């Protein structure tokens, strides 16, 4: 595995973005979990079912943006697929989106606590990161703090995303969970959670 070298091309990012429409369950479940954590942290009382409904009827993560960081950034396509400070959760979804968009390719989920950022990368060092593109990160920022110990355990990602999806769907009366190993057309199977 090579360290970060450059951002993946717009074409390759677009293949990732397409999955937000194809399998919206993933990013919505991640967003739901993110908000549950934020509300708990700041002791905000929010009905989980109401939150799930709000997320269900949205089209892109940026619709849930509550801060104004984007006002001072160019309006890039990456904006739609990012949410300020939610990179950890959305990067889990991006990991599976990349597996669907590029079958047979090797990808890594990076938890870079020195950079305080989470993103995905292939084994050639190409970074897939809507959040980084939206925030105008420099690829050198990734290079400075990357080390191979930052690679997230794949089993941990699978367990985490399954928990996110089951919890999210249990709140808006759906009975399906995402199965990352399944083919795209059969990715939804009954959830026992």
Of 149, 145, 140, 193, whose CA–CA distance to 167 is shortest?
Answer: 193
Q: What is the pLDDT of residue 66?
A: 65
Asked if residue 181 is part of any domain, the answer here is yes
How far lies 15's CA from each of 12, 22, 124, in Å?
A: 5, 11, 17
Q: What is the Cβ-side half-sphere exposure of residue 187, based on CA atoms within 13 angstroms? A: 17
Please answer whether residues 145 and 10 qualify as being in contact, where contact means their C-beta atoms are separated by less than 8 angstroms.
no
Residue 161 in this model has a pLDDT that exceeds 60:
yes
Is 91 inside any structural domain? yes
What are 57's two structure tokens?
């009827």
Per-residue pLDDT of 173-190, as tens digits, reads: 654 444 555 444 334 444
| Statement: residue 143 has pLDDT above 80 | yes
Q: Whole domain around residue 118: which residue ranges?
A: 6-190
Task: Give the model confidence (pLDDT) of 51-62 as tens digits.
Answer: 999 999 999 998
114 occurs within a structural domain? yes
Structure confidence at residue 4 as a pLDDT band (50, 70, 90): very high
Say if 1 falls within a structural domain.
Answer: no
Residue of 49, 65, 55, 63 whose CA lies nearest to 25: 55
Name the more confident of 174 and 47: 47
Q: How many domains does the chain have?
A: 1
């Amino acid at each position: 595995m090579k360290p970060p070298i450059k951002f993946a091309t717009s074409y390759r990012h677009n293949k990732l973005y397409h999955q937000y429409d194809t399998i919206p369950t993933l990013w919505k479940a991640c967003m739901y979990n993110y908000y549950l954590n934020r509300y708990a942290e700041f002791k905000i009382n929010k009905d989980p079912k109401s939150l799930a409904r709000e997320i269900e009827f949205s089209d892109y993560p940026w619709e849930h943006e509550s801060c104004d960081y984007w006002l001072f950034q160019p309006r890039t396509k990456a904006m739609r697929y990012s949410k300020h400070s939610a990179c950890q959760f959305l990067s889990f979804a991006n990991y599976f989106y990349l597996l669907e968009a590029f079958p047979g390719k090797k990808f890594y989920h990076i938890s870079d606590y020195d950079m305080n950022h989470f993103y995905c990368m292939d084994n050639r060092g190409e970074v897939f990161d809507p959040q980084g593109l939206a925030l105008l990160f420099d690829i050198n920022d990734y290079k400075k703090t990357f080390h191979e110990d930052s690679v997230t355990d794949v089993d941990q990602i699978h367990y985490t995303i399954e928990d996110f999806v089951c919890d999210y769907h249990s709140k808006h009366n759906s009975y399906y969970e995402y199965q990352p190993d399944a083919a795209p057309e059969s990715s939804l199977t009954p959830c026992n959670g």
